[in-house]
Chain A
Amino acid sequence: SQKIEQNSEALNIQEGKTATLTCNYTNYSPAYLQWYRQDPGRGPVFLLLIRENEKEKRKERLKVTFDTTLKQSLFHITASQPADSATYLCAPNTGFQKLVFGTGTRLLVSP
């Protein structure tokens, strides 16, 4: 069955460092993958989309990579700030007109 895995443990880093979050998927080949941010008590908010023919996508301090051979996407936040603390969800499309979300990784950036 299709599976999406993100680190379930929180990632703790210091302000100014680069945070790297991992999303692994198995048993299917998504045409694209999205990353969302979710703050406590709020709905997820879209950050970036990367398509299968793109290796890398950037937006300000955010960078996403997509390795279709490894079936993995990496999400990087450079020069991280305490305001970046949140849960980050990856969502590869399944080809059935729907996104399936990973369980998310909680990022904690300490000053």
Chain B
Amino acid sequence: DTAVSQTPKYLVTQMGNDKSIKCEQNLGHDTMYWYKQDSKKFLKIMFSYNNKELIINETVPNRFSPKSPDKAHLNLHINSLELGDSAVYFCASSQSPGQGNTIYFGEGSWLTVV
């Protein structure tokens, strides 16, 4: 009965590969997010979708492509992985943003690019 679940939890891959991280929420929220937390623990928003529409895209390289097949899912596909992509990627969800609604985070996906 996990609220926000993401898979895989750990991912080790070589430079140049393409990988995907999947996310699902069962909270009935209409907004989902991807955040990246780097080695310095800085948590930075990458994308936000509201009702399957992209509303925030924070100057992320276009190697990163989010896809939201429905309100409960937001997947992240990364092409041509680079060493600097190594980080923890958190999926999250909330009711409509900008209202002070709580953001619920998944447990994170640890991506290591070698």
Instruction: Give the chain A neighbours of B90 by CB distance below 8 A.
Output: 43-44
Instruction: Give the chain B neighbours of A93 by CB distance below 8 A.
Output: 98, 100
Instruction: Give the chain A neighbours of B104 by CB distance below 8 A.
Output: 46
Chain B, interface SS category = strand
Contact of A44 among B43, B44, B48, B55 (CB under 8 A): B43
Instruction: Give the chain B neighbours of A31 by CB distance below 8 A.
Output: 100
Contact of A43 among B50, B98, B107 (CB under 8 A): B107
Q: What string of 1s and 0s marks CB contacts (under 8 Å) between B76-114 and chain A?
A: 000000000000001010000110101111111000000
Instruction: Give the chain B neighbours of A51 by CB distance below 8 A.
Output: 100
B11 at the interface (CB under 8 A from A): no
- B108→A96 contact, CB < 8 A: no
If A46-B103, A46-B104 touch, whether A98 touches B97 (CB-CB below 8 Å) is yes
Instruction: Give the chain A neighbours of B44 by CB distance below 8 A.
Output: 101
Shortest CB distance B99–A (Å): 9
Shortest CB distance B80–A (Å): 27
In Å, the complex CA distance between A41 and B106 comes to 11
Instruction: Give the chain A neighbours of B43 by CB distance below 8 A.
Output: 44, 89, 101, 104
Instruction: Give the chain B neighbours of A101 by CB distance below 8 A.
Output: 35, 42-44
- B100→A97 contact, CB < 8 A: no
Of the listed residues A32, A36, A42, A97, the one surrounded by the most CB atoms of chain B closer than 10 A to its CB is A97
The interface of chain B, by Cβ under 8 A from chain A, is 4, 35, 40-45, 48, 50, 55-56, 90, 92, 97-98, 100, 102-108
The interface of chain A, by Cβ under 8 A from chain B, is 31-32, 34, 36, 41-46, 49, 51, 87, 89, 93, 95-101, 103-104
Chain A to chain B contacts (Cβ below 8 Å), 20 pairs = A31-B100, A32-B100, A34-B102, A36-B103, A41-B108, A42-B107, A43-B107, A46-B102, A49-B100, A49-B102, A51-B100, A87-B41, A93-B100, A95-B98, A96-B98, A98-B56, A98-B98, A101-B42, A101-B44, A104-B43
